[in-house]
Structure 1
Amino acid sequence: MTERLDRARILAGQHGIDALLVTPGADLRYLTGYAAKPLERLTCLVVTQLGCHLVVPALERAAAEASGVEVPIVTFGETDDPYAVVADLVGRADVVAVDDQMWASRVFALQEAFPETGFVLGGQLVSDLRTVKEDSEVEALREAGAAIDRVHARMGEWLRPGRTEREVGADIAAAILAEGHEQVDFVIVGSGPNGASPHHEVSDRVINAGEPVVVDIGGTTAKGYCSDSTRNYVVGGEPDPGYLAMLTVLQQAQQAQREHARPGVTAESVDAVGRRIIADAGYGELFIHRTGHGIGQETHEEPYIVEGNTLELEPGMAFSIEPGIYVEGQWGARIEDIVVCTEDGIEVLNNQPRDLVRL
């Protein structure tokens, strides 16, 4: 972790930032290994050109030490002003960067503690570090991908006609934990017309025979890395021919995107390859979201695979490839894999069948 902090300090200096302040969240865990809880008492990593300190409430010292943080820990008592502690550690500063997810109340309190200082967002600075994964991070993503694949492989245990989406979703959530995740991040079970809502989650709707079901699931492992994979199912019957024709186009688009993705191509070009196939088949207006998002200690992070993102892919970048087609009032479909850019292509971390799974 000290290497990551050193890189953060160097980047901050290059951007004219005197101090980087990071509160609980993925950035703090990435930089220190400490998965601190976002409580009303301030926890804040202070990164300056002179060094790094972790400011925590006195009652949180033991938890911080147990996480294995490798920076000096500075505590404050119940009646102390934690923002004054941060100000003392920072000293005089012209520019202070704060993490993008910092609570507004924290930002205002820091501005009062630094009345002559300019504040900027520091999220992009840390994102620049997090976007290209280290070997250990790729291995953690492999493990997360294999764990969520095991859940998809068990779908026949729960998904059947007559059950509600909510009942199926509860079983899936339990399996996400049983198969190697520390927490469940989301469970989407979109049956029939509910499949046309990309972020539907679950409802009390009863799943009927022969209708397609979109299952998009993910969680976070004990190492702090996320999974995210979508597959399409049908239970107890054969779906409408119109749906099958649509799904065939979607499979072609997703395969073309996987084959195109490699170092040196832009993020937006991966999106364009699949979007063109879908549009040429007459479904262009029904592909209503970007092709993908980066993934790591957060389910959604850089790089985003979307039109307008001219970022060139590099080895170590991890992201989803998940085109979708959604017909309101009828059905939807999405195929999602997490992939990691290698030296000459990609490694696909989700390997359950991409065809329609009949149960």
Structure 2
Amino acid sequence: MAGDQLFDTDNAVELDGKDVILRDVRAYRLARVQQQLLRHKVPAILLYDPVNIRYATDTSNMQVWAGRNPSRYVMIFADGRVVAWEFHSCEHVWDGLDLHVELRSAVSWTFFNAGHAAESRAEVWGAEVVDVFRKHAPNDCRLAVDRLDPMGAAYLQKNGLTLLDGQVLMEEARAIKSAGELVLIGESLRTCEKGIERMQRELRPGITEQDLWANLHFENIRHGGEWIETRLLASGDRTNPWMHECSARTLQAGELLAFDTDMVGPNGYCSDISRTWLVGGGRPSDEQRRLYETAYKQVHFNMDLLRPGMTFREFSDKAWKIPEQFLKNRYCCLAHGIGMVDEYPSIAHQVDWDSAGYDGQFETGMTLCVESYIGADGGTQGVKLEQQVVLTEHGCVPLTACSFETDWL
């Protein structure tokens, strides 16, 4: 079974320490962005998404806040040139990087920062962006952009630039991980596993969902992690349907507890693990064991199926068939890419293919999460499982040693 072997991220590459790994990863990631620009014949990309900026430059500045408040931006050229506009008095976040960058002061034109002067501030911003682009790409008008508010997009287009979808380029760049990236992903996963172990030690009747969930946050921050994208932890009848975020509900003995970590850990890489436990120990009921066994079968069947060279459509068609009673409450996808956050691709169930599916091909070096949620329509409990894996030339290999409840099977 492909799922029986844990990928050893500690021995993925022979490097002389963390600094060397980071240096190589930074060079690899910037080169991936350049390759996509050249492949799509686009001279430059303007990045606002904090995750894309982190990928391309390995700089991080108030990631969650910057995701809501467009306050720093970077232009990457196909020749490797980097121009960065940094937030007020934050040039220090670029210290220590082996990266030739032209640093400028960012101009923010959101209503929060500019009020009713937003339009005139956007013109100042846009004039500088257009000037930088034309200085380094005088014979082209195509600029890729990952995300941009309407006023900014309108100004650039009014001044002769043709805007292209930069998110496509960045998702494709991020899809294939280097050996060094796998080492960094492993560090994030080991931190996540510490948080899960702490949660399991604290799991007992009488604790609230929120108190239990706080243990994952504690270990993440303690070990240099960054944030957690969701609060998906539920107990008892809140496990069905899935997607309840944690609450002040008190856990009761004999009920199920399920969670999904969605944890952006050290080095900005996401650890995405789902497990389901029994509160209070003892033996689960026959119904709980049946739900768990069904979810376990789905995850491991689909892990065994995954291979480089397989198309997304082929995987969807051949994937484990969900029994009819659980189909309505199925998870939103069969599997999805994972890196710094959830990434391309997202693989639709066969039943959803016409409305949500898109084709492509699995490649060696992709990191993925294989998903399952099993809970009957109208039921009172459910099981959520998810395994993070890497695709090698031999198939699908787990990246985490976080255990399943195999004694329930």
Per chain length, whose mean CA-contact separation is higher, i.e. which structure has more relative contact order (CA < 8 Å, sep 6+)?
A: 2
Instruction: Report the Cα offset of residue 292 of structure 1.
Output: 1.9
1:62 aligns with 2:99: no
Counterpart in the other structure of 2:128: 85
Q: For 1:69 and 1:180, locate their aligned partners in 2 and report how far apart those are by CA, in whole Å.
A: 22
Instruction: Report the Cα offset of residue 284 of structure 1.
Output: 2.8
SS in 2 for 1:250: helix
Per-residue Cα deviation, 1:186-213 (whole angstroms, up to 9, x for no partner)? 3422111111233212112221111111
Match for residue 368 of structure 2 among 295, 311, 319: 319
SS in 1 for 2:259: strand
Q: For 2:402 and 2:317, locate their aligned partners in 1 and report how far apart those are by CA, in whole Å.
A: 25
Per-residue Cα deviation, 1:62-102 (whole angstroms, up to 9, x for no partner)? 22431626133242487993322221111154322101x44
Instruction: Report the Cα offset of residue 356 of structure 1.
Output: 6.6
Q: For 1:316 and 1:215, locate their aligned partners in 2 and report how far apart those are by CA, in whole Å.
A: 27
SS in 1 for 2:45: strand
Per-residue Cα deviation, 1:276-312 (whole angstroms, up to 9, x for no partner)? 1x227x43333242122111111x1112232434322
Counterpart in the other structure of 1:118: 162
Q: For 1:193 and 1:67, locate their aligned partners in 2 and report how far apart those are by CA, in whole Å.
A: 50
Q: What letter corresponds to residue 155 of structure 1 in structure 2?
A: M
Give the 3 Å change call, closer, same or farther, for CA 66–244 of structure 1 in structure 2: same
Unaligned runs of 5+ in 1: none
1:292 aligns with 2:338: no
Q: For 1:230 and 1:57, locate their aligned partners in 2 and report how far apart those are by CA, in whole Å.
A: 36
Q: What is the root-mean-square deviation in Å for CA atoms of aligned residues? A: 2.8
Contact 1:261–1:270 (CA<8 Å) still a contact in 2? yes
1:147 aligns with 2:196: no
| Percent of aligned pairs sharing the same letter | 23
Q: For 2:226 and 2:76, locate their aligned partners in 1 and report how far apart those are by CA, in whole Å.
A: 29
Counterpart in the other structure of 2:10: none
Contact 2:188–2:266 (CA<8 Å) still a contact in 1? no
Match for residue 225 of structure 1 among 261, 269, 291: 269
Instruction: Judge which range, 139-148 or 41-50, deviates more.
Output: 41-50
Instruction: Report the Cα offset of residue 22 of structure 1.
Output: 1.0
Q: What letter corresponds to residue 296 of structure 2 in structure 1?
A: Q
Give the 3 Å change call, closer, same or farther, for CA 241–196 of structure 1 in structure 2: same
Q: For 1:294 and 1:267, locate their aligned partners in 2 and report how far apart those are by CA, in whole Å.
A: 12
Contact 1:176–1:218 (CA<8 Å) still a contact in 2? no
Instruction: Report the Cα offset of residue 344 of structure 1.
Output: 0.9
Counterpart in the other structure of 2:347: 305
Q: For 1:122 and 1:16, locate their aligned partners in 2 and report how far apart those are by CA, in whole Å.
A: 12
Q: For 1:273 and 1:154, locate their aligned partners in 2 and report how far apart those are by CA, in whole Å.
A: 37
Q: What letter corresponds to residue 228 of structure 2 in structure 1?
A: V
When normalised by structure 1's length, the TM-score is 0.86
Match for residue 214 of structure 1 among 235, 258, 263: 258
1:121-140 correspondence to structure 2 within 5 Å: 121-140=165-184
SS in 1 for 2:190: helix
1:48 aligns with 2:77: yes
Counterpart in the other structure of 2:60: 35
Give the 3 Å change call, closer, same or farther, for CA 336–44 of structure 1 in structure 2: same
SS in 2 for 1:247: helix
Contact 1:231–1:354 (CA<8 Å) still a contact in 2? yes
More helix by share: 2
1:1-359 correspondence to structure 2 within 5 Å: 1-2=26-27, 4-37=29-62, 38=66, 42-49=71-78, 52-57=81-86, 59-60=88-89, 62-66=91-95, 68=97, 70-76=99-105, 81-91=124-134, 92=138, 93-99=140-146, 101-112=147-158, 115-178=159-222, 181-236=225-280, 238-276=283-321, 278-279=322-323, 282-298=325-341, 300-307=342-349, 308-327=357-376, 328-355=378-405
